Structures are given as structure tokens and as C-alpha cells.
Amino acid sequence: MTPERCAVVGIGQTHHASARRDVTLGGLVREAAERALLDAELGWHEIDALVLGKGPDFMEGVMSPELLLAEALGAVGKPVLRAYTSGNAGGVAASTGVALIAAGQFSRVLVVAFEKQSEASGPGSTLQRLPFEAGWQGGTGSLFGAVCREYIHRSGAPPEVGDLAALKDRRNALLNPYAQVRRPDITLEEIAASRPLWDPIRLLHSSPSSDGACAVVLADEPSAARSARPVWVQGSAVRTEPYLSAEHDNVDPRAGAECAASVYRQAGITDPRHELDVAELFVPYSWFEPMVLENVGLADRDGGGWRSVVAGATAIDGALPVNPSGGLLGANPIGAAGLIRFAEAALQVRGDAGDHQVDGVRRALGHAAGGYSNCFAMWVVGAARP
């Protein structure tokens, strides 16, 4: 039998900030969940099951927070699943929600993802510091710097690519009322002159540390029929590979390429560059935009990614806009960041993205990545029922 169809019928997110000291963990997730329910015109009692996504529990110091947050999420008496895996948690959570619908088990599933990094030290809580490991003390940024360096080496990307991609996302973030980082007078020169962190990554190429949450309501076909503007999930996939595998390529990971190929296949897409109208990609450092474009088949693998950035093809009025929301450079509540990409893709399809709306979006890609460029989740959403 074929899986049940699934639609996004409600979308909500918090105003993201470096520290949301006005809310508890429960208050944060509830803010996003209530907005999604309001958007879906549904009550808490109409939700059949929940999925909670977030990054490492070390980020807040609460173990298995789905237990603590049961009441805040209206989950008492209901099935609950946690999604983690890594930084792609928000995307995996959406994928789990889609599976709960597709398996024919539930009619309406609330997917919530959050991170409240101000509760602890983000970089500190991502350091493994294994007993036998040298004290390189780098955190994830130091690894990703080397990955960007390798991309430059392979593709011949000129130094300004990271600055151009960052300028584009930072300007887009100004159009997004939920974005945390707003620099109205940002210039290319300022980005290029910002403090070097991990060569070639500079401060203004980087996503911030954030508190934030996002929620979507997913529905099966009969429930979606009662929704004013359902956005259909045309493809959904998760792919992972071992980061210590000899075959693992940090710049162009096979898991990312195959995850994209799977969602395109499910959606009946053969030419993603022309059949997708917008993409929300997981770009924690601006240098990742060209790399991800090539990995998911939205640019040629010989440096097509950086040439797209330089040509302005990924600008909000370009041929294939990337991150009109501002992406992770606007806010990066790690565990929620993937779900925010998925939700922004759905908002674009619905035509509800406000000032950062791209004209005439029929189909959009949401992309989430995590681990050491080895964990991925993606979905393709569209106006047409699959």
C-alpha cells in the first residue's frame, strides 16, 4: 500500500534572540507551538501525537526534555517521540512527523523543535573532550573552517565568496521579523574586515548562538482537506553516514547528495535547479552556501556553487533564491534551525513569507544538516498534492 499523503497545515516560530530570558524552556516551545496551532486553526485536543526535536541535551542541561516539557506541549496522554541525531534534529523531527502520518497511525501531528543555548555554553557543550584526545579545543567551528578551506582548494573559489554569501543572508534577515541578528547598515567591506575565526571563516560569516523554537502541524489528507491552505509534503528523507569512515567526504558528503536525490525522486523532480523555486539551506557559515548548492544538485560540482553566489543567482530576486529568511545567519537555535528551514520553505509555498516572500513559489526545498557534515534531513514541499 502507498503511504498516506501528508500536508503542513500550521506553522509557527518564536522571535529568536541570543538569550530569551523572558521565558522558560516550556515557555519557549509553547510560544512556537501556540502560533502553529493558531495558524492551523486547531486546538491542543486535536493533536494526536507529538515529535520534539533538539540538539544535544548538554545545550540546556536537561536530560530527555520531552519528559519535562510534556505539559507545555500538551502531550499528556499522547504519544511522543524525540528526534536528535545531531544538528539536523529539527529536520529529523519533521521527517519523523511525516512518517507518523504516512504510516497511517495519526491524523494530526505537532512537530516542535527548539534550542535555548543561553542556558549553557554552546561551543563548550559541543566539545567532546575525550580522555584520549589532544586538547585542540576547537569546537565545531574549527573543523568547519578546514572544510571550507578544502572547498576553496578544490573549486578555486575566490576569497570574496564567503563575504558575498554572508551579505546576501544578512540583508535577507532584515526582511524577516523573527530574525535575531539585524545589521541594517551591513556592508561587504565590514564583513570582509571582520575578525578571523577559523580561516577562511570570519565573524560575520558565522551564525549566532540563539534561543528559539519552531513548530509545524502536519495532517493526513482528510484533515488537510479542512485546512484553508495546505502545503503538501512531496518528498521527505533522512540520510546519515559515519563521519570517521574513510569514504566520508566533508565537502561533498554522499549522504547529503543521496538525501537530496531521494526527495527529488519522491517529488518527481528531475531538474531541481529549474523545478524548485526557492531553497532554505542549512548554512551555519556563509562559505557553506556554495558547498551545499553543489552537494544537493543545485549547482555544478566544479565550482558552480560559488559562481552562483558571485552571479547573484541565490539572491532573493535571483534565478534560485537561497535563504530568503536570512537562514542560520539570522538565527541559529541549533535543534530548531533545521525545522525553521523546513517551515520557511512551506511559508514560501503558501505565499505567507511577508517581506521575504519570493514571487510565484510553487515548490521549495528545506534542508537540515548536522554532525560533521554527515547527517542530513530534507523535504520538498509544494502547492500541488502529490
Integer angstrom CA distances of residue 14 from 113, 235, 250, 325: 11, 26, 32, 14
Q: Which residue, 67 or 193, is less far from another protein as judged by CB?
A: 67
Task: Give the total of residues touching another protein (CB under 8 A).
Answer: 66
Residues 376 and 255 sit within 8 Å (Cβ to Cβ): yes
State which H helix or E strand residue 348 sits in: helix 334-350
* Contact partners, residue 98, CB within 8 Å, separation at least 6: 6, 218, 233, 236, 379
Rule CB under 8 A: say whether 254 interacts with another protein: yes
Residue of 316, 375, 378, 381 interacting with another protein (CB under 8 A): 375
| Least distance from another protein to the Cβ atom of residue 117, Å | 14
Element (H, E) at 262: helix 254-267
How is residue 219 annotated by DSSP? E
State which of positions 221-240 bind another protein (CB under 8 A).
Answer: 237-240
Cell of residue 91, nine digits: 529536520
Asked if 3 is part of the footprint of another protein (rule: CB under 8 A), the reply reads yes
The cell numbers describing 148, all together, are: 571550507
For another protein, the closer of residues 81 and 192 by Cβ is 81
Closest to another protein by CB, 248 vs 301, is 248
123 vs 318, beta carbon nearer another protein: 123
User: Is residue 358 a contact point for another protein (CB under 8 A)?
Assistant: no
How open is the CA angle 341-74-108, to the nearest 5 degrees? 60
Instruction: Tell the smallest beta-carbon distance from residue 100 to another protein (Å).
Output: 6
- Cβ(253)–Cβ(288) below 8 Å: no
Q: Pick out residues in 74-133 that bind another protein (CB under 8 A).
A: 75-86, 92, 95-96, 98-100, 102-105, 119, 125-130
Q: Which residue has the cell 578551506?
A: 149
Nearest to another protein of 62, 383 (CB atom): 62
CA distance 248 to 107: 38
Q: How far is the CB of 369 from another protein (least distance, A)?
A: 13
**Rounded distance between C-alpha atoms, residue 3 and residue 330, angstroms:** 36
Going by the DSSP 8-state scheme, the letter that residue 56 receives in this structure is -
At how many degrees (to 10) do helices 288-295 and 139-155 cross? 70
**Which residue, 26 or 351, is less far from another protein as judged by CB?**
26
SS3 241: coil
- What is the distance between the alpha carbons of residues 323 and 307, in angstroms, rounded to a whole number? 17
- Does 252 participate in binding another protein (rule CB under 8 A)? no
**Interface with another protein includes 70 (CB under 8 A)?**
yes
Residue 10 CA to chain centroid, in angstroms? 17
The reply on whether position 46 binds another protein by CB under 8 A is no
Q: 18, 34, 46, 62: which one contacts another protein (CB under 8 A)? A: 62
Residues 316-345 that bind another protein (CB under 8 A): none
Q: Shortest gap between Cβ of 279 and another protein (angstroms)?
A: 21
Nearer to another protein by Cβ, of 66 and 169: the residue is 66
> Near another protein by CB under 8 A, which window of 174-182, 189-197, 252-260, 297-305?
252-260
Q: Is 268 in the site for another protein (CB under 8 A)?
A: no
Q: Given the rule CB under 8 A, which residues bind another protein?
A: 1-3, 24-25, 56-58, 60-64, 66-71, 75-86, 92, 95-96, 98-100, 102-105, 119, 125-130, 237-245, 247, 253-255, 258-259, 371-372, 375
